[in-house]
Structure 1
Amino acid sequence: MSALPSRRLFGQAALALLLAGCSAATTPYPASAQRGLLPDFADLAERVLPAVVNIAVTAEQRSVELPPELRGTPFERYFRDRQRGRRQEVTGAGSGFVIDPTGYIVTNNHVVGNASRVVVSLQDGTELPARVIGTDELTDLALLKVEPRGSMTAVPWGVSAQARVGSWVLAAGNPFGLGGSVTSGIISARGREIGAGPFDDFIQTDAAINPGNSGGPLFNAVGEVIGINTAIYSPSGASAGIGFATPSDLARPVIEQLRREGRVERGWLGVAVQDLVSEDQRQGRRGVLVAGIERNSPAGRAGLRQGDIVIAINGDRVDTSRALVRTVAAVPPGQTVRLTVVRDGREREVPVQVGRRPGQG
């Protein structure tokens, strides 16, 4: 009902008012100034594209899923007998970028996955076999190495913390397997959590990112990598103007550790934690609730209890479960941290020797 009066505003009088307002707003600015508001990415693209690569992967799929239409029919057994012991090759494509002239390349973990063969294609058409140096599932990052004939064009890391909402960015990669492509847009938001994992801290951009762009770089206006294109939100599977990139400040130390050690080791307490509810916050309580403790975990051995509220680590306040997980993950296994907890209304210090996150050796 309330929408009807608004529709009536779009008559001749309203149209004249809109045109007048438009004219008044644009008159002081000449056409040359208006053109100057939009950047030209040609020089930037020419400079960075040689460092952007296409990645083709081949993996062996040990079993083939039974088609639904054969389930429960006489052909089901025949199908299973035929597929027993057979392997099927599956292929995929993604993007990456060179960070070192000697041939180190960054991409997404989900691009290389369990690939049996990885081939990197350069902008000039050169194809090079690649070796997976290491992967990190929690941040969806991977490091590859190729053996180039000469020095490769590399691009530098930027500081994602300096990126501002509204800043121009350039995304580059291999959308739909088409080869080196660039798209432009702005940073739409920062610090996005999309349910990918405990280290969600994505840069959101409206630069077009499509299947095949995964692992490609997100550049700032001076050609520094401030993000690794990782995911999109799309009802159709194609770009809907909502893409997500892992920020360089999170990716860079992971890649450096993969280069040094071939894997990423993270600290672990062995607790289930959750944020305090809004009622606690209204009463001035801050911290993270310990909801559960794993048996024989570092936290259990240190005497941490279910119901404790962690308010600081080594004297630095923590207000969210995500901040606690990230802080502990950054601590080398074997090092002792000092947790400040509230138990029965009183603060106390609990030293905990951090363990190694399960599944990391």
Structure 2
Amino acid sequence: MKNFASLFLVSLLSGATTLGAYKLFIEDDQPGNGVVTVAGPENHLRNVGLGAESVDFTAAADKTVHSVVHVKNTSYRTVTNPMLEFFYGYRGGQQQEQVGTGSGVIISEDGYIVTNNHVVKDASEIEITLNNNKTYKAKLVGTDSKMDIALLKIDADTKLEYTVFADSDNVKVGEWVLAVGNPYNLNSTVTAGIVSAKARNLDSSGIQSFIQTDAAVNPGNSGGALVNTKGELIGINTMISSMTGSYVGYSFAVPSNIARKIIEDIMEYGNVQRGILGVEGGELNAKASKELGTTETAGFYINRVTKNSGAERAGLSKGDVIVKLDERNIATYSELAAYINTKRPNDKVNVTYVRDGKRYVVPVSLTKNEFVAAEFKGLQLENIDASDKKKFRINSGVRIREITNENLKPYYDELIGNIILSVDNVRATDVETVSRILGNKDENQSVSIEMVNKQGQRIRIII
């Protein structure tokens, strides 16, 4: 009996010691947010997330679904019968209705809504359906086709719930996000994922810069909200990367900082005020650095400086490598473009660049895009205006303003005033795009140029 009592006492003391140790060393180290502190290599403490089940998405979802709307785009086109036209000279046609749908995000209580430009493109009528199923006719306030952003306005009878903007520069890779929209006309659908990458460029011009996420986005999600776990807007869902047209793992959103700047420009000026740095070139990697003879392996290599630009006036020159804008490190062109796209003409940006192994910082005043002409192989180029687009029935292009290449002078009358439509089969959206394309080419390289001449004929030349 004595032995049993002794054994019982030892067991009791052991259990109490174990429980006390658990309470002291383990339970107290477990924060209430679902993060466990564990010992890592060399006994250093590190934090390990417990996964999606430990993150509460309900508050963010509830805040967002009421501010995400369904966008219905109705357009009309005339369908003709070529056989009737040929045999009977019949010129009539039948009006055919076309309907497209997408999503939008209410950004103010008085009814301003942001969506994608491609959601409302060519719309004759735009109808908005709120989460409570109320419908309103919307007015198109303005668009930016380059960044695929459009601003709409509805006049509601009550104050509307809206989503506030977050600073998309503070978004981190690996951060949890929610995509809210209307895929396949299913109102208020919420999906979750993480930020897979930032400053993604899917455009050959390198001007666009997307947030990449693995949150499921499908047709109809376009124009919807990408929000953080606080329910704040960090992006406008724009496209997916897919061979089938449906979600397969990656989707892309216009960062909120870029979208907000576009919206503010449209509301204040009626159009987008886009400033440019005035440099042409390309991003560095090990191979490019070796070919260019520079020791830098990351940054933007300046191959050419645009005349009359802020970069030229600040003293930047060919061979300089831009590594930072203000406090943001620059490793790719899309990172450079993403930052510049949040600025306006005459804004000053501190440019950190490397020249001959030394770092320098210089303030550069951004130039208005329309006031800058690009030059390549003796062709000075300028942007076209709306009247040119209407006259030649084109959506984009750049005009040959002047010819300084002596070899092309004999063809001066044939080329001057022509509008370049594409360079090496890449669409010439504007001077900035063409500068980007040509900036990656050497003066000795040939380029294929498609253009429309003053008579409206399309021709192709190789320079």
TM-score normalised by the chain length of structure 1 = 0.71
Alignment of structure 1 residues 241-280 onto 2, 5 Å: 241-268=249-276, 272-275=280-283, 277-280=288-291
Alignment of structure 1 residues 1-361 onto 2, 5 Å: 37-61=53-77, 75=83, 78=86, 87-195=95-203, 198-268=206-276, 272-275=280-283, 277-280=288-291, 283-284=294-295, 287-290=300-303, 298-299=308-309, 308-311=318-321, 320-322=332-334, 325=337, 332-333=344-345, 354-357=367-370, 358=383
Amino acid at match of 1:356: N
* CA apart distance, 1:129: 0.7
Distance 1:116 1:48, change over 3 A: same
Amino acid at match of 2:187: G
What is the CA–CA distance in structure 2 between the aligned matches of 1:87 and 1:319, rounded to whole Å? 51
Aligned residue number for residue 25 of structure 1: none
Distance 1:343 1:155, change over 3 A: closer
What is the CA–CA distance in structure 2 between the aligned matches of 1:130 and 1:174, rounded to whole Å? 18
Bigger relative contact order, structure 1 or 2 (CA pairs below 8 A, ≥6 apart): 1
Aligned residue number for residue 70 of structure 1: none
**Considering only CA atoms, is the larger Rg found in Structure 1 or Structure 2?**
2
Kindly provide the CA deviation profile for residues 68-89 of structure 1, in whole angstroms up to 9, marking residues without a partner as x. Answer: xxxxxx9596599667665543
Amino acid at match of 2:60: L
Distance 1:268 1:47, change over 3 A: closer
May I ask how many residue pairs the two structures share in their alignment?
319
What is the CA–CA distance in structure 2 between the aligned matches of 1:353 and 1:159, rounded to whole Å? 22
* CA apart distance, 1:225: 1.0
Q: Could you tell me the percent identity over the aligned residues?
A: 35
Amino acid at match of 1:45: A
What is the CA–CA distance in structure 2 between the aligned matches of 1:176 and 1:163, rounded to whole Å? 28
Amino acid at match of 2:110: T
Amino acid at match of 2:303: V
- Give me the CA root mean square deviation: 4.4
* CA apart distance, 1:268: 4.3
Kindly provide the CA deviation profile for residues 119-162 of structure 1, in whole angstroms up to 9, marking residues without a partner as x. Answer: 10001111111111111112111111110101001111112233
Distance 1:178 1:288, change over 3 A: same
SS in 2 for 1:111: helix
What is the CA–CA distance in structure 2 between the aligned matches of 1:340 and 1:160, rounded to whole Å? 22
TM-score normalised by the chain length of structure 2 = 0.57
